[in-house]
Structure 1
């Protein structure tokens, strides 16, 4: 059986195709992703899903979906967003469909009745993989935009918060990521010339620029739009970082900017570490499974800063698969659901 798992995010849509044998064991895994800013291009979702599948389309036996794109400002409410994504996915595929919800996989008809049950539930899918690696741990998934910090006990997630709003209050969601975070949200001051300088609260630079300057990401990882719609070289990123201090490359040296980026990296790591420590203190846990695009750049250093024992999910998946871990987890959940139930696509 070949199952496609999609993670439809606000900025990126990820794919994992897994071949399962008759015993439900995983065989080959194919992963891919594309940049699809849903706030601008939500009507291109169907085309993007089909393009990601490519020649595999006719071999797919079922499709599982998790989502966070319902939050984009193209929708007035999350309910509207979920229902629009549901409609687009249903119109795209004729195979059995399932959606990751807070209580497991839901059929489309169940999603229609209670859309919020699948809103921003992609962390449920990722936690399934972390639980395989360690039945008692904190999963830390740093993506392009956000960080999920999910406690797992006895092999099951036990997050205190269920919605994004609740998780922002429990430390289980930190709105910072490897690529798309406005630098002005990471800190309000940076060190320079033995002093401290307040940053401008404009969208001049993003976290991708910080990590691009420091060499923490590969150029191919910088898949989102740049704030100024300019290039993605290290010098382009330096120019954008200089703007947060109302400067440019004539005013600030490259060494100044590298030093500022090193501080921003430290500050972003510290913000995540604070939340990890908060969750760890509540749950009396000290082990972390790190994953996501920022697995090595942010998640692991933050766990170490929080004095946690940390392993990375690339001990179970490949590094490329870790980047799209929610899509992989979605395919796993969909296969298990199909095995357990007499499933129809209704």
Structure 2
């Protein structure tokens, strides 16, 4: 059986193809495309076809999860979910089901209950984390957000269900490796023994500090740059300098690295604070990290908290970990097909 999992995010659309034989996972292949849905939602069908290529004729089913319904191309989440489902259904002629808060739903059921499938990607990822540790906190750090999901006895037990609820429970933190405005992480930075308040303009993003610090390379910098310029270390340094209303004639490379290091630490603290909230509430002391930031942010947060930490790349290759919700969606769809 060959099953596809698709994670349609606001900025990236990820795909995983899994092959299962006699109930055993034989192969996983993954791919991804940068697709800013707030600008190019009408290119979704084309993107899905490109991701699958010739294999579109050989698949047995498709599992889909989404967070793109929050993109400001839609007036509300319901409109976004319905539009995305409509576009997906145009592409495939095999069974398609959507990850929801209560399992897999076909298109008809999902259209009747659109908020059940909105931003349910963490449900898919938690299936993988639960297989690694039956009692843990899954920390999935992507390009933009961090999901912090408690798992007990092999099942997710998040207190919040919607994004709105999870923002209040410590289970969702709007910070990630690439796309966050640095001014949302800090309002001032230390330099030369003084504190400097920062500009709240969109001058630099988290991808810039992680590129400068060597946490990622330019190939990982998959989103657009704030100024439309290139993705070299020097370009990132220039963007960070603007955070202090400066440039590379006023600040040198050592200055920029000092600023970047401080912001990186503050970002890690924000994640650690939320993990601690969930840990204290649920009495869990083990973390399983995944996503682009699993080691550069997730593992660092675990070190701050002195908590045991395992990375999903112990079981999947690092590239697969970046698209874990797509893999989880494929696994859930495979199980769904066997039940039909």
CA distance in 1, matches of 2:302, 2:62: 34
In the other structure, the counterpart of 2:184 is 185
In the other structure, the counterpart of 2:12 is 12
What is the deviation of 1:28? 1.0
Aligned pairs (5 A) from 1:1-346: 1-21=1-21, 23-340=22-339, 342=340
What is the deviation of 1:55? 2.1
SS in 1 for 2:219: helix
CA distance in 1, matches of 2:192, 2:16: 47
CA distance in 2, matches of 1:232, 1:210: 12
CA distance in 2, matches of 1:29, 1:218: 24
What is the deviation of 1:314? 0.8
Cα shift readout 1:255-299 (whole Å, capped 9, x = no counterpart): 000111011110000000000000000001100000000011111
Q: Is 294-303 or 35-44 further displaced after alignment?
A: 294-303
Gaps of 5+ in 1: none
Please say if residues 24 and 335 of structure 1, whose CA atoms lie closer than 8 Å, have aligned partners that are also in contact: no
| Cα RMSD, aligned residues only | 0.6
CA distance in 2, matches of 1:293, 1:311: 15
What is the deviation of 1:58? 1.2
SS in 2 for 1:220: coil
CA distance in 2, matches of 1:24, 1:250: 61
TM-score by length of 1: 0.98
- The list of structure 1 runs, each at least 4 consecutive aligned residues, that deviate by more than 2 angstroms after superposition, is none
CA distance in 2, matches of 1:43, 1:245: 38
Gaps of 5+ in 2: none
CA distance in 1, matches of 2:66, 2:160: 17
Q: Is 241-250 or 311-320 further displaced after alignment?
A: 311-320
TM-score by length of 2: 0.99
CA distance in 1, matches of 2:334, 2:43: 27
